[in-house]
Structure 1
Amino acid sequence: MGDVRQLREKQTDSEKITINLGYVDLGRIDLLVQEGFYSNRSDFIRTAIRKQLDGHGETVEKSIERHTMELGLRDYGRAELERLRAAGEVLHVRVVGLARIGADVTPELALATIGSITVLGALQAPADIKAALAGRIR
C-alpha cells in the first residue's frame, strides 16, 4: 500500500461543443474524409473553424485591445489574490481563452478580490468559487 500514489486530475486544453449539420453538409464532409483530405469529421471541423478565425484575426485582435482583455490561458491563484487584497485592489477578470481560479483560493478571498469575470471561452474554478462569484460572472 505504501507505493500507491494519487494521480493528478487530468486538465483538458479544449472544450467539447455540439453542432447540428444538415445531412447534405455532413455527407460532403464524410466524402472529403473518405477521400483522405481529412482524418475524420472533427479534423475537418477544427480546420474550418481555424480558417475562419484566421480570416477574422485582425478584427479579433482589435476587439481584444478595445475591451482590454487577455488572450490565452490565465491562472489566478491564492498568492496573487492575497497581494491584491493587501493592496486594496479589485480584479476584473477579462479573458479570451481559458481562465482558471486555483483550488487554493477560498470563496472569501475570491469575493474580496474579484469584482467581475468575463470569459469568452471557458472558466475553470472549484464549484464553491463559482457559486460564490455567480453574480459577478458575465
Structure 2
Amino acid sequence: MSNVKQIRDKQPENEKITINLGFVDLGRIDLLVQEGFYSNRSDLIRTAIRNQIESHVETVRTTLERHTMELGLRDYSKADLEALRDAGELLHVKVVGLARIAADVSPELAMKTIGSITVLGALQASAEVKAALADRIK
C-alpha cells in the first residue's frame, strides 16, 4: 500500500469569456474604476452581469419550471399554446409518458410556441403538426 493519494484536478470556479466593447463603453468602465466604484474592469463587468441576471430572476425561474420533465399524461390545448404565444413564451415539451397536442392546434401555432419536444413514450398530434415540428422533435 502506498501513502500517495491521487489529488483530483481542481475544477475551475470561473469560466473565462471574451467580449468586445466599444471604445466609449470601455472608457466609461475605466472612469468608474479610476473613481473607485470598482476595483477593476472585471469587477464592474461581473457586477453588471449579476445585476442583469437578478433583474430577470422570475423569467429564469419560470423557464426552469417549463424545462422540467413531466411524468404521465400531458395535454397541450389550443388555449394553452395561444396563451404562450400571447405572452411571447416558447414551450419546451419534456414528457415521460404520453404528450398530446390537441387536434385543433394549427401547424402555425405549434411552430410559434413549441421550441422543442422530447418525449420518452409517445407523442400524439396531427400529422400536419408533427410534420411542421419534425426538426424540433427529439
What is the TM-score with the length of structure 1 in the denominator?
Answer: 0.51
The reply to whether residue 133 of structure 1 matches residue 133 of structure 2 is: yes
Q: Which residue of 2 aligns with 1:95?
A: 95
Which residue of 2 is the match for residue 107 of structure 1? Answer: 107
Identity of aligned residues (%): 78
Q: How far apart are the structure 1 equivalents of 2:77 and 2:132?
A: 16
Give the residue type in structure 2 aligned to 1:97: G
SS at match of 2:104: coil
How many Å apart are 1:68 and its aligned residue? 2.1
Whole-angstrom distance in 1 between the partners of 2:104 and 2:119: 21
Q: Which residue of 1 aligns with 2:121?
A: 121
User: In the aligned structure 1, how far is the partner of 2:75 from the partner of 2:97?
Assistant: 11
Provide the C-alpha distance between the structure 1 equivalents of 2:136 and 2:84, rounded to a whole number of angstroms.
Answer: 17
Q: Which has the larger radius of gyration?
A: 2
C-alpha distance in 1 between matches for 2:113 and 2:130? 14
The residue matched to 2:109 in structure 1 has which SS?
helix
CA distance in 2, matches of 1:106, 1:76: 12
- In 2, the alpha carbon distance for the partners of 1:77 and 1:68 equals 19
d(CA) in 2 for partners of 1:103, 1:68 = 24
> Amino acid of the residue matched to residue 135 of structure 1?
D
| Structure 1: 4+ residue segments shifted above 3 A | none
Q: Describe the SS at the equivalent of 1:135.
A: helix
Kindly report the root-mean-square deviation, in angstroms, between the aligned alpha carbons of the 2 structures.
1.5
List gaps (5 residues or longer) in structure 1.
1-66
Q: 1:76 offset after TM fit, Å?
A: 0.4
Give the AA of the match of 1:119. Answer: V
Structure 2 equivalent of residue 79 of structure 1: 79
Gaps of 5+ in 2: 1-66
How many residue pairs get aligned? The number is 73
1:38-49 maps to which residues of 2 (within 5 A)?
A: none
Q: What one-letter code is carried by the residue in structure 2 that aligns with 1:79? A: A
The normalised TM-score by structure 2 is: 0.51
What secondary structure, in the 3-state scheme, does the structure 2 residue paired with 1:74 have?
strand
Q: What amino acid is the match of 1:94?
A: K
